Structure formats: C-alpha cells, structure tokens
Structure 1
Amino acid sequence: MDKKKLFDAFDDFSQNLMVTLAEVEAMKKQVQELVKENTGLRLENTKLRERLHQLEPETEAKAPHQGKDHLESIYQDGFHVCNSFYGQRRENDEGCVFCMELLYRE
C-alpha cells in the first residue's frame, strides 16, 4: 500500500472517529439531562404520593357526610331518596317516612 493512501486512510479513520466521539458526547449529555429530569420527577412523585396519603383520611371522613348532604338536597328539591321510591317526585312536597329515616338515622 502506498504511504499516501495509508496516510489518507488514517486521516479518514481519524475524522470518522472524531465524528463518532462527538455523537457519543451528545448522547451522553442527553442521557445526563434525562437522568436529571427523571430524578426530579421521581422526587415530585414521591412528594405527591405522601401528600395524597395525608389527604386520604380526610377525604374518607368527609365522603359519607357529603353523600348525606347530596341526598338531603335531592330530598329538598322534592324527590324521594329512599329505596322504595328513589328518584320519584314527592307529591305536594309531602314528607316520606322512609326518606326521613334514611336521612336522619344515626
């Protein structure tokens, strides 16, 4: 092989190696950014889960009360909330013993 051809081959190989090295460095930088973002998201996710666990007992305690309030508002709008007549309009807004028992039992 001629010395000039050999030198040109090494020069081409060197340039290809430099291009590949630049691509590897760019990918390395992207991976570092992704790891940093992933770490931040994991931390945020952990904090949100902790906050959710703190709120769950409050939500569970309020849920039955909110349901009762909802049923009372339906009853006040003139509809039955008892099992026997649920959703039917109360005639002349007369009281229903079954609805009252459901709403005000302890």
Structure 2
Amino acid sequence: MERERLFMHISKMEADMDLMYEDLQTLKELSVRLVEENVSLQMEKENYEQLLAKEASEKGASFKQNTLNNLYEEGFHVCSVHFGTHRHGEDCLFCQGFLQHRNN
C-alpha cells in the first residue's frame, strides 16, 4: 500500500513539473517578444527625436516658441498676466509684446 502511494505521488510531481515546464516556455516566449518590442520602440523613439531635432534646426525657431505662437493663434493668452486663459477674440498687447520680444 505504501509503495502505491509513493508512485502516485511521484506521478503527480511529474505531471506538475510538466505543467511548470510548459508555463516556463510560454513565459520565455513572451519575454522574448517584449524585449524585441522594447528594442523596436527604442529605435522608433530615437528616430523620432532625430526628426524633431532636424525640423527644429531647419525652421530656425524653437519648439517652445512655435508652441507659444500656436497657442496665441488658437485664442489663448501667452503673457504672464493671463497665461492660458481664452482671449475671446480680442488681441492682447502683453502677449503680442512677449511674442515679438521672443521672436527677435
């Protein structure tokens, strides 16, 4: 009787080890895919950063300056007095002076 229990226990451990090995293989495959995706995304990020740097140098204006100009054109204040609030279609001398100073 004792021998039968021992063999059943060994058989159960073998089955458990097989399942663990299958899980390990699945985890290994997923890890490889994640590493490959990470490398791909890193390369894409580097290419994008190079493209942004190239565009900024070609235009001659900084990204920050273009952003401020765009904000003002979209109707928002860029001056320190009312920064980020809507201009409601009105011009702001502070904003215009600030942008003119930054462009020179």
> Per the shorter chain, which TM-score range?
0.5 to 0.7
Total equivalences in the alignment: 92
| TM-score, scaled to structure 1 | 0.65
Aligned pair in 2 of structure 1 residues 70, 57: CA closer, same or farther (>3 Å)? farther
Give me the CA root mean square deviation: 2.9
Where structure 1 has 5 or more consecutive residues not aligned to the other structure, the ranges are 1-7
Q: Tell me by how many angstroms 1:95 deviates.
A: 5.9
Aligned pair in 2 of structure 1 residues 70, 93: CA closer, same or farther (>3 Å)? closer
Secondary structure of the structure 2 residue equivalent to 1:74:
coil
Matches within 5 A, 1:54-73: 54-59=47-52, 61=56, 63-64=63-64, 65-73=66-74
| TM-score, scaled to structure 2 | 0.66
Aligned pair in 2 of structure 1 residues 74, 57: CA closer, same or farther (>3 Å)? farther
What is the distance in 1 between the residues matched to 2:71 and 2:41?
Answer: 29
Identical-residue share of aligned pairs (%): 20
Higher alpha-carbon Rg:
1
- 1:74, 1:81 within 8 Å by CA — same for their partners in 2? no
Runs of 4+ in 1 over 4 A off after TM superposition: 87-90
Where structure 2 has 5 or more consecutive residues not aligned to the other structure, the ranges are 57-61
Secondary structure of the structure 1 residue equivalent to 2:75:
helix
Aligned pair in 2 of structure 1 residues 67, 57: CA closer, same or farther (>3 Å)? farther
Secondary structure of the structure 1 residue equivalent to 2:78:
coil
